[in-house]
Amino acid sequence: MEHRIVVLGAGYTGAVAAGRLARRLHREDVRITLVNPEPDFVERVRLHQLAAGQDLRPRPFSEMFAGTGVEVKLAKVTAVDVDRRTVSVAAANTLGREELAYDTLVYALGSGWNDGGVPGTAEHAHEVSSRPGALRLRDRLAALDAGRPVVVVGGGLTGLEAATEIAEARPDLDVALAARGALGDWLSEKGRAHLRKVVDGLGITVHEHAVVDAVETGRVTTADGRTVPADVTVWTTGFAVHPIARATALKLTDGGRIVVDATMRSLSHPDVYAVGDAATATGPGGKPLRMSCASGVPMAWQAADAIAARLAGTKIPTVPIRYFQQCISLGRREGLIQFVTADDRAVDKVLTGRAAAFYKETICKGAAWGVAHPTVGMPTRRRRVAQQENKTPARVRAAA
């Protein structure tokens, strides 16, 4: 009988996992279904560009998965029953509902924006964590007259990229950034200096140590009493995981992320694997991997390899997930590559300027290309293992 693998979510991690499984297993042995509400792959790491008025290249799943055997089901996940091994979905743009049975589930529903419960945020702020949100922000910015104030709340990677992209695309706007701490306080001294130089050059006003505790029409206010004018507020203070997992019997963290082992397998339900922002896995130094594409794609590799190995009854390959750099675009002509330790702490070495912008662009293109070519880009040891195994692909012998 075919082993039924259902992958929920077709972001970077879900799409990579589905494609990698299709290339590691015989098509006659497995049925791989990828569930996603949209027909195109969304480059989430570029959504700040979309919001700033740029057009992104369409990447339809029908082309990306052509000939792989992966069935893309356009539907929204409404429930997961891990005891019955079923997923309930609502077909996109219809009233039809369906229940999918699985033998192995890959949960990759990811995360969305997190308003943090701050009053007024849900009503008045914009987000760039989804394509609909980025498009709404795009329309709002396009409607602004010159000189109008825009405030980006959040001084992390998303906030920096959004603020600099908007300021470069619309130099006529008054763009400000509200950061909880000092600007780029996690970067090295060289990284902070370059970031400050670019931000100042773009005319961005930085409000440091500013904890925004309310968003209203036309302004935001901070915990220390500051009022910052804002015709448009962009909220980038963090991500919240998809809520579906909370309604299941899966073992979760307090934040709603699925707890997994080193192979991305659920600690409570061995037929469920979780990857990307939806899961919490341990990285170098015993630290949890952060929510990011840099964490999610290696997690997807690991999960797909583990599933394939368990089905085939072969040794499970494991390669520790580690970090190498943090890549920050600062508009189209500037960038900052902060090199880091394995556990994501900044070192002195940085790459800046146009070279960094080119580096980041190459990373973004490579990430999208890797979705359709999921055996490329893996660490060297894993690549050798995969190449050897792909010469004589293993047949499914047992359930994962």
Domains of the chain by residue range: 3-110+242-320, 115-235
| CATH number belonging to the domain at 3-110+242-320, selected among 3.30.565.10, 3.50.50.60, 3.40.50.450, 3.40.50.300 | 3.50.50.60
Q: Where are the alpha helices (DSSP H) in 44-185?
A: 47-51, 61-64, 121-124, 131-142, 157-169
Instruction: Provide the pLDDT for residue 94.
Output: 67
What pLDDT, in 10s, does the model give residues 316-369?
Answer: 988 889 999 999 999 999 999 999 999 999 999 999 999 999 999 998 888 877
Q: Provide the terminal-to-terminal Cα distance of the chain, rounded to the nearest Å.
A: 14
Lowest-confidence segment of 63-67, 122-126, 199-203 by average pLDDT: 63-67
Lowest-confidence segment of 84-98, 125-139, 235-249 by average pLDDT: 84-98
What single-letter DSSP state applies at residue 193? H
190 CB burial (10 A radius; 0-12, 13-18, 19+): middle
Lowest-confidence segment of 163-167, 216-220, 279-283 by average pLDDT: 279-283
Residue where the block lists tokens 């290696």: 298
CATH topology match: 3-110+242-320 vs 115-235: yes
Task: Give the separation between CA 184 and CA 194, rounded to whole angstroms.
Answer: 10
Instruction: Provide the pLDDT for residue 395.
Output: 52
Task: Give the separation between CA 269 and CA 140, rounded to whole angstroms.
Answer: 44
Instruction: Provide the pLDDT for residue 374.
Output: 60
Q: Classify domain 115-235 at the CATH superfamily level.
A: FAD/NAD(P)-binding domain (3.50.50.60)
Instruction: Provide the pLDDT for residue 100.
Output: 97
> Which DSSP helix (H) or strand (E) runs through 354?
helix 353-372
Q: Could you tell me which of 301, 294, 207 has the C-alpha nearest to residue 262?
A: 301
Instruction: Provide the pLDDT for residue 71.
Output: 95
Q: How many CB atoms lie within 10 A of CB 387?
A: 10
Give the burial string for 208-245 (b: 16+ CB within 10 Å, else e): ebbebeebeeebbbbeeeeebebbbbbbbbbbbbbebb
Confidence of residue 142 (pLDDT cuts 50, 70, 90): very high
